[in-house]
Amino acid sequence: ASTLGAAATQSGRYFGTAIAGGRLGDSAYSTIAAREFNMVTAENEMKPDATEPQQNVFNFTAGDQIYNWANSRGIKVRGHTLAWHSQQPGWMQNMSGSTLRNAMINHINGVMGHYRGKLAAWDVVNEAFNEDGSRRQSNLQATGNDWIEVAFRTARAADPSVKLCYNDYNIENWSYGKTQGVYRMIQDFRSRGVPIDCVGLQTHFTGGSSLPGNFQTTLSSFAALGVDVALTEVDVTNASTTQYAGLTQACVNVPRCIGITVWGVRDSDSWRSNESPLLFDGGGNKKAAYTSVLNVL
C-alpha cells in the first residue's frame, strides 16, 4: 500500500492523525491529511473548554467542522476528551463536590448526545493518574474516587454504540508505576462490569532511540484484560526511525492493537514543533520515519 491508512487497513487497523480545525483551509495540510489517514482526532475542538464554554451552553461548531470534514471523506473520528483536569472551561475549574460531579455528568451527556452514533471511540477520561500509579489530584478526583467509573457508566448510557476508552501518557513502559496503576484500574473495571472498551496509550516519546521497556508486553497485557488498545497521540523526539518502527511493530504484533494515531500532520503543525516529532516535514515531504512506519505496517 502507498499510504499509511491503506497499509494499516491491510491488517484491519487504522492510521490516524490529530487535526487542528484552523488548519483545514491550508490545502497542503488537508491534502496530506485526507490522503494518508483514515482516522482523525480533534486536537482541541472536542475538549471541555471548546464544547461547553458556558455551563450548559454547548458549542459544537469547531468539533463539527472536523467531524464533517472527515465524515465526508470516509475518515472515522475518535472523540477526545470528556473528563480531564486540563482544558476545562473557566466555569468548571473552581467547582467542587456534587456540583462538579453533576456538571461532569451533564457535560458527558451533552457532548455524547450530540455525537451519538457518529464516532468510533471516545476518550472518556484523560490523564487521571500520577507517575507513581496513584490517582492524580484534581478537582474531579476530589469529588470522590469513583468519578472515573461514574464517567464511564454515564458515557455508556449516553451512546451505547461508541467504544469507551481510558487515555493516558507514560503508560508505555510495563515496569512503570503509572502503567501498573492504570492496569489495576482497568482490571478492576473489567472484574466489576464497569463499562470500558479500550485503553489509549498516548505514546509521546521523548529522547533516546529505544522503546520504553516491554512496550509490547504493556499492549498485550492490557489486551488480555479484554479491552482494545490504541496508540493515540504518537510523536517522537526528532522522529527517531527506530522508535517509530518499533512502536508500529509492537502494535502490529498485538491483535487487539487496533490503530495508531500521530499527533499532527507536519512537524510545523505539532505542539512539539521544535522537536520535529512527526512523519512529514514542514514542507509536507515524507520523512525517513514515514518510510520506517509504512514498511512495518
Which residues are annotated as catalytic?
127, 233
CA dist list (Å): 54 to 47, 91, 167, 224? 13, 7, 25, 41
Which residues form the interface with ligand XIL (CB under 6 A)?
43-44, 126, 202, 233, 271
Which residues are CB-contacts of 74 (< 8 A; sequence separation ≥ 6)? 38
Which residues are CB-contacts of 44 (< 8 A; sequence separation ≥ 6)? 20, 50, 87
DSSP structure string for 188-212 = HHHHHT----EEEE--EE-SSSSPS
CB of 11 to ligand XIL, least distance (A): 26
Mapped onto helix, strand or coil, the DSSP state of residue 257 is strand
Query: Which of residues 17 and 240 has its CB atom nearest to ligand XIL in the complex?
Result: 17
137, with CB counted inside 10 A (0-12, 13-18, 19+), is exposed
CB of 129 to ligand XIL, least distance (A): 13
Query: Which of residues 17 and 126 has its CB atom nearest to ligand XIL in the complex?
Result: 126
- Taking alpha carbons only, the member of 236, 171, 173, 186 closest to residue 207 is 236
φ, ψ of residue 16 in degrees (nearest 5): -120, 175
Query: Which of residues 125 and 194 has its CB atom nearest to ligand XIL in the complex?
Result: 125
- Taking alpha carbons only, the member of 115, 133, 132 closest to residue 124 is 115
CB of 235 to ligand XIL, least distance (A): 9
**Pairing between β-strand 228-236 and β-strand 257-262 as defined by DSSP bridges:** parallel
CB of 169 to ligand XIL, least distance (A): 6
Query: Which of residues 64 and 233 has its CB atom nearest to ligand XIL in the complex?
Result: 233
Query: Which residue has its beta carbon closest to ligand XIL?
Result: 271
The three cell numbers of residue 229 are: 488498545
CB of 171 to ligand XIL, least distance (A): 12
Q: Which helix (H) or strand (E) holds 126?
A: strand 121-126
SS3 content of the chain, % helix, strand, coil (to 5): 45, 20, 35
Q: Any idea which residue has 527506530 for its cell?
A: 242
CB of 193 to ligand XIL, least distance (A): 27
Query: Which of residues 9 and 138 has its CB atom nearest to ligand XIL in the complex?
Result: 138
User: Which letter does DSSP use for residue 1 in this model?
Assistant: -
Query: Which of residues 17 and 44 has its CB atom nearest to ligand XIL in the complex?
Result: 44
Instruction: List beta partners, residue 205.
Output: 236
